[in-house]
Structure 1
Amino acid sequence: MRTSPHSFSTHPPYGPVHDEDEEPWEPPQHRRGGRRRRRNRFAGLPLAAKALVLLLAAAAFLVLADRWALLYAEHRTAGKLKDSLDLAAAPEVEIEGFPFLTQLLDGRIDEARVAVPDVAADRVSLAKVSATASDVRIEGAPLSVRGASVDEMNGEVLLSFEDLNRELGASQVTFTAQGRDRVLARGTLPVAGHDLKLSADARIRRSGPDGISTRIGGMRLDIGDLATYRPGTKPSQGLHLTRKSADAVRSSQRKLKSLFEVPELVDRLGVPPSTVQRALREESELASLAGTPRFVRALTGLNLIDVAMDHPALLKQLGLDPALLDGLSRLTRPALADRLALGFRLPELPDGAGELTLRDVRVERDGIRVELAGYGVSFGG
C-alpha cells in the first residue's frame, strides 16, 4: 500500500536511533590518552633510534662538562698567575683545543693565550702584555692542579701613546709616532708662570734583555715669538732671541744701547770697544752698526743665559720676564729629558720562574710595540 506524504513516521523525530547493544557515549580523555600516546611513541621507536637519542644526550652532557671544566681551569690559572707574578689584576686566560678534559687527563695543554692589562713598569704602565704558549705541562693533573710550566712562549708588549699622554702628560705633552724608532713629543710646559711651547723627539731602542730606553733629542722651548731655549752647553743651545726679536732690537735705539752697555755682550758680539763707544755717542754710527747682517746673526747666536744672570734688567729691555731665567736655569737637559723618557723594564719573575726577554722594538701608530719571548716559564706549584 502506498504511503501518503502527509502520513507520520513511527521513528523518533530527533537524533539517530541507537541499537540496544551499543556502548553508551563518553567524553574523550585527552590528557590520559596523550601521555599514553607519547609513551607508546618512544616505546615504539626502533632500538637503533633509542640508542642514537641516548648517545646524543650523553654527548651533550659531556660537551657541557668539558666547557665547564675549561672555564674553571681558566679561572684558576688566572688566579695563580696573579698571585705568582704579583699582578694588580687577574689576567685573561684562554685555553685552546677540544676536548679539554682529554688534555687535562694527559697533563698537557695544546695552546694557551694570556693577556695581562696595565702592568706597572717604572714610570709608565704597559697597556697590554700578551703571550701564547704551546705544549703547556700541567703539574698535578688531573686531580690536583698545582701549576704549569712551558719551555718557550712568544708574545708582545704594548706601551700605548694614550696611556703615555695620560701618565706623562701633566704638562699637556702628547706623544705621536714618527717612523719605526722615533716618537715626537709636542705640547706646553709651565715654567715660572709661563706656558712654553715644547717640542722634542725620542729615539727608541732595546736596552738589555728586558727593557727599552729612549734617547731624547731636539729639545726646544719657545717663549712666544721672542726667544727659544734649548737645554745644553753647546753654542747652539741656551736662550737665544728669535729673528723677529733681533729685528725688533735692531730697530730700537733704546734696546741697542742696553745691549752695548753690557761689556760681556759686546765681547760676545765681537764688536770692538772703540766702535761701541762711537755708536753710543752718534745715532748714525749706532744704526750703521746694527744694520749689518753680521750683527743680526751674532745677536741671534748670543746665549742670554750666560750674561743675564748678572744683568736681569737686560731681559726686561728685550721683552722677557726675568723670572724665566731662574726657571730655565733649573730646567737642565737631564731634567727635561727625564720628564720625556719613555723607557721601561719588564717586571722580574720570581726566582726559578723562568726568564722573559724583549726582542724587536718598533714604533706604531697606537704606541711602542715590543716582541716578547719567555723561556722555562712556570707558575704556581
Structure 2
Amino acid sequence: MRSPHRIATHPPDAPIDHDRPGDTAQLPASSYSNPYDELAALAPNPLEEFLHEEKDEPGADAPWTPPNHRRGSRRRTRFAGLPLAAKAVVAVLVATAFLALGDRWALLYAEHEAAEKLKDQMKLSAAPEVDIEGFPFLTQVLDKRVDKVKVTVPDVAADRISLAKVSATATDVTIDGDGPTSFKGALIGEMNGEVLLSFEDLNRELGASQVTFTGKGHDQVLARGTLPVAGHDLKVRADARIQRNGDRGISTDIGGMSLQLGDLATYRPGTRSKEGLHLSRGSADRVSKETSKAKALLSVPAIVKRLGVPDSVVREALKSDTKLNELTGAPKFVNDVMGLNLIDVAMGHPWLLKKLGLDPALLDGLSKLTRPVLADRLTLAFQLPKLPGEGAMALQDVTVEKEGIRVRIAGSGIGVGR
C-alpha cells in the first residue's frame, strides 16, 4: 500500500522554488480571495439595526374601537315579528303559569292552617299531615266546598300506649271562611279511616317486661318474653284475643298466662285447680326418685292430705325406704305431686321450696302477681281520643295483621276549628 502524500501549501506572497519538486507556478495575487470575508459581507450589521430609528406608521396611536355589528334600524325584533295569534298564546301561557303558582300557594297555606287547627283542637304533640286534593283549589274555595281531604296523624296517645298512625279521608267538606287566607273551620260530611297499633311500638313501650307481641290469626295476639320476679327472669307466655269495645275502644281478653321457672315449675295466676305454682314433670320425677325430697314432701301434713295418702301408709314410708319406694314409684304419685299448688301448701314451709330447688323469695313475688295484675301488664286495650267538637266517630272492625292491630273507623258531621 502506498503511503499518503502531503500537498504543500504556499501563502500568496511566498516565492516559488522551481527547483523543489511539487512547487507550481505562482498565481496572481488578484485572483485569491478570503472566503470568510465574503461571508461577513453577506451578514447584516447589528449596530446599524440598533442605531436605526423606525418611523411611526400613520394611525398607529389611534385608540381601538369594537367593530359595529348593529343591524340596521329597519330590521325588527323577533317578538315584534311574531304573528298576533302567537303573541296571544304566549300571553295566555304566562298568565296561566302565574295563576297556577298562586293556586298552589293558596293550597299550601290552607293545608298549613288546617293542620294547625287540628293540632290545637285534638291536643296533638305534632301537627298532622293534611293533603287537599283537587285542582284548581281556588275554585273550590270560592264554592266553599272541597271534594276530598286526606289527614295523617302520627303517634296519637291512647291511654298507656301510642297509636303508630291514624289516617283518614274526609269527603264533602264545607269550608267556613271568605278566602284561602281567612280559613275559620270546616264541616266534614263523611270520614273513613284506619288506626294502626304496631307491634314494634308495643314492644318498645311495654318493653319493661321484655315481652314481644306477634299476631296470630285475624283476632289473636301472642305475648312471649321474660318477666322479672323476685330477682329471677321468668319466661312469660300469654294469648290475647282482640275485640271492639264500644265506639271508641278495643279490649283484650288475655288467657293462657303462665310463668316458667326454668324446668322446675310453672306458675299460672288464678285460683282454679290447674292454676298456681306447680312442679314440672321433670321435677316431680326427681322427687319420686330422691329419698330426701320425697320424705321432705311427706313430712308436711297439709301436703299429705292433698295427696290423699293414708296416714298409716305415710308413717310406714317415712320409716322404711322400701315402703317409700313403693309409694313414690307408682305413676299416680308423680301426677298427684304435679297437681299440688305449692303457693298454698308451702306458704308456711318456705324451707320445702328450697329443698325442692326453688327460691323461697318467689313465694312472696308470685303471690302478688295475681291474674288481674299480670293481665294489666299485658293488656293492649286502648280508647281513641274523643272529638272535642261536634260530630260522631266510631270503630267499625278490628283485625290483627303481621305488622300490628288495624282498626277501621268511620264518622260524619265532624266539625274542625269551629
* TM-score (norm. length: structure 1): 0.90
- 1:178 corresponds in structure 2 to 216
SS in 2 for 1:146: strand
Would you say 1:29 and 2:68 are equivalent positions?
yes
- 2:6 corresponds in structure 1 to none
Q: 2:102 aligns with which of 52, 65, 70?
A: 65
Q: 2:193 aligns with which of 151, 155, 173?
A: 155
After superposition, residues 217-232 of structure 1 pair within 5 angstroms as: 217-232=255-270
- 1:341 corresponds in structure 2 to 379
Tell me by how many angstroms 1:33 deviates: 4.8
- 2:24 corresponds in structure 1 to none
After superposition, residues 202-351 of structure 1 pair within 5 angstroms as: 202-350=240-388
Residue pair 2:229, 2:362 contacting (<8 A) in 1 also:
yes
Where do 5+ consecutive residues of structure 2 fail to align?
Answer: 1-64
Whole-angstrom CA distance in 1 between matches of 2:271 and 2:178: 65
Whole-angstrom CA distance in 1 between matches of 2:329 and 2:105: 86
- 1:375 corresponds in structure 2 to 412
SS in 2 for 1:205: strand
Residue pair 2:203, 2:212 contacting (<8 A) in 1 also:
yes
Q: Which amino acid aligns with 1:301?
A: G
- 2:9 corresponds in structure 1 to none
Q: 2:237 aligns with which of 177, 199, 202?
A: 199
SS in 1 for 2:78: helix
SS in 1 for 2:77: helix
Compute the RMSD of aligned alpha carbons: 1.6
Would you say 1:45 and 2:74 are equivalent positions?
no
SS in 2 for 1:43: coil
Tell me by how many angstroms 1:280 deviates: 0.5
Whole-angstrom CA distance in 2 between matches of 1:92 and 1:373: 19
SS in 2 for 1:41: coil
Would you say 1:88 and 2:106 are equivalent positions?
no
Would you say 1:124 and 2:158 are equivalent positions?
no
SS in 1 for 2:182: coil
Tell me by how many angstroms 1:347 deviates: 0.7
Where do 5+ consecutive residues of structure 1 fail to align?
Answer: 1-25
Cα distance change on mapping 1:36 and 1:54 into 2, 3 Å = farther
**Percent identical residues:** 68
Q: Which amino acid aligns with 1:187?
A: G
Whole-angstrom CA distance in 1 between matches of 2:355 and 2:73: 107
Q: Which amino acid aligns with 1:56?
A: L
The structure whose RCO (Cα within 8 Å, separation 6+) is larger is 1
Whole-angstrom CA distance in 2 between matches of 1:127 and 1:49: 55
- 1:134 corresponds in structure 2 to 171
Q: Which amino acid aligns with 1:207?
A: N
Residue pair 2:209, 2:225 contacting (<8 A) in 1 also:
yes
Moved over 6 A (4+): 34-37
Residue pair 2:264, 2:279 contacting (<8 A) in 1 also:
yes
SS in 1 for 2:348: coil
* TM-score (norm. length: structure 2): 0.82
Cα distance change on mapping 1:36 and 1:66 into 2, 3 Å = farther
SS in 2 for 1:40: coil
Tell me by how many angstroms 1:63 deviates: 1.0
- 2:48 corresponds in structure 1 to none
Cα distance change on mapping 1:150 and 1:310 into 2, 3 Å = same
Whole-angstrom CA distance in 1 between matches of 2:225 and 2:121: 40
Can you list the C-alpha shifts for 1:119-139, whole angstroms capped at 9, x where unaligned?
111111011111101110000
Number of aligned residue pairs = 353
